[in-house]
Amino acid sequence: MMTVGFFGCCGAVRESQCLLGSFFTCLLVIFAAEVTTGVFAFIGKGMAIREVQTMYEEAYNGYLKNKMNKTLITFHSSFLCCGKESPDQVQSTCPKELLGHKNCIDEIENVISAKLQLIAIVGIGIAGVTIFGMIFSMVLCCVIRNSRDVI
When comparing pLDDT for 88 and 107, which is higher?
Answer: 107
Query: What is the count of structural domains for the chain?
Result: 1
Residue 125 lies in a domain: yes
User: What does the pLDDT look like over 116-135, one tens digit per residue?
Assistant: 888 888 989 999 999 999 99
pLDDT digits (tens, 9 = 90+) for 40-87: 888 888 999 999 999 999 999 988 888 777 888 899 999 988 888 887
Note down the domain range covering 71. 21-150
Give domain status of residue 40, yes or no.
yes
Residue 5 lies in a domain: no
In a domain, 29, yes or no: yes
Residue 81 within a domain: yes
Q: Which of 42, 56, 50 is nearest to 119 (CA)?
A: 42
Mean pLDDT of 100-117: 89
58 inside domain: yes
Evaluate whether residue 4 is within a structural domain: no
DSSP letter for each residue of 40-80:
HHHHTHHHHHHHHHHHHHHHHHHHHHHS--HHHHHHHHHHT
Q: Is the pLDDT score of 148 beyond 80?
A: no
Q: How confident is the model at residue 107 (pLDDT cuts 50, 70, 90)?
A: very high
Asked whether the whole model's pTM tops 0.85, one would answer no
| Cα angle: 92, vertex 93, 97; to 5 degrees | 95
